[in-house]
Structure formats: C-alpha cells, structure tokens
Amino acid sequence: MKINSRKLTILAMCIAINLVGAWIALIFKLPIYLDSIGTIMAGFSFGPGFGIITGVITSFVNMLGDPIAIYFLPTQLIVGYIAGAVTVLKEKNSYKKIYQAFIMSIPAAISSALIATYVFGTVTTAGSSYIVQFLRATLNMSDFLIVFIVQIVTDYADKFIGIFLVAKIYNMEAFQKILERDRYRLKK
C-alpha cells in the first residue's frame, strides 16, 4: 500500500465527500446515511486498506458534528473493506452493482443494527431512527429485528446510491487518467 500525494489528495476528497454527505443526511433527517460514498470511492480506487483508512478518519472527524458517529466505525470498516476487496464494482455492468449493494449492505446492516439496538437502545441521530420508533410502536417484534429490517432497507438504498455514483466517477476517462499516472509511476 504505497501512499503518494495524489492518493492523499483523493483520500482527502473522499473524506470530504463522506462528511458533506453525512451532514446533509443529518440536517435533513434523511432515512439514508450518505456517509460512505467516499469510503466506497477510496476502496474502489486503491483497495481495502484505503477504504478502511477513509472510514476511520471519517468516523473521527464526523464525530465533531454528530457525536454518535464514532460508534458506527465498525460499519465504516466493513464498507471500506468490501468496497476494496470485491472487484464487481469496477465492471460497467449495472446489474452486478445491484448485487454488490446487497453484498455490502447486509454486513453493514448487521453491524449498524447491533450498535443502534444495544448501544443506543434503538434511538440514534439518523433519519431512519424515526422509522424504527414508528415500527416499535406498531409491531410486536424484538427491537433488534425491527432495527435490522429498517437498516437492511436503508443501508441497501444508501449503498446502492453510493456504488452507482462511485462507479460513474470511477469509469470516467478523466478519473482513469489520474489513476493511470500512479500505475505508470509504480511500474518505473
């Protein structure tokens, strides 16, 4: 995992994308999170290590605007690793990205549901928390199951959006040229 100024610049951009997305979701109480688009981009572009680094830094910086964000660090780690480890993302086939969103959202949903249920008692700062509270009041199910159902739906929507946005950027000719410069330098 070689780090150079180009990768650091893209990594900083990915962290900024995560922070802006997270703050938009927090301010508007959206039922999606938008805090992992940059994590997906870093993992996509440079592998799992960079996805994980992006997720860790995002969680710590995001804590300044949303104090509970740090508790969801394991979810960022999962997303960063999967984004870098699974190569389906780099393909131009849109149908495979639909499956990729499931591959990424299931472990992320499990992690988030465990944290939201057992650390925060189902009440978090996310917009999806309103849905959870409504379902808790109307359904006779365990808290974890309700949170998991909401998480799987909202995480899938979140990762689906993230994967498609990142795939569009990643497959752009201009972005590929930026990445090729690093690959060319590594070969020398």
| pLDDT > 70 fraction of the chain, expressed in percent and rounded | 92
CATH class of 5-187: mainly alpha
Which helix or strand (DSSP H or E) is residue 123 part of? none
Domain boundaries along the sequence of the chain: 5-187
When the pLDDT of each residue in the chain is averaged and rounded to a whole number, the result is 91
CA dihedral 34, 10, 108, 148 (to 10 degrees): -10
Per-residue confidence band for 21, with pLDDT thresholds at 50, 70 and 90: very high
Residue 3: per-residue pLDDT:
81
Kindly report, residue by residue over 63-122, the tens digit of the pLDDT: 998 999 999 999 999 999 999 998 766 667 777 788 888 999 999 999 999 999 999 999
Q: What is the pTM of this model?
A: 0.90
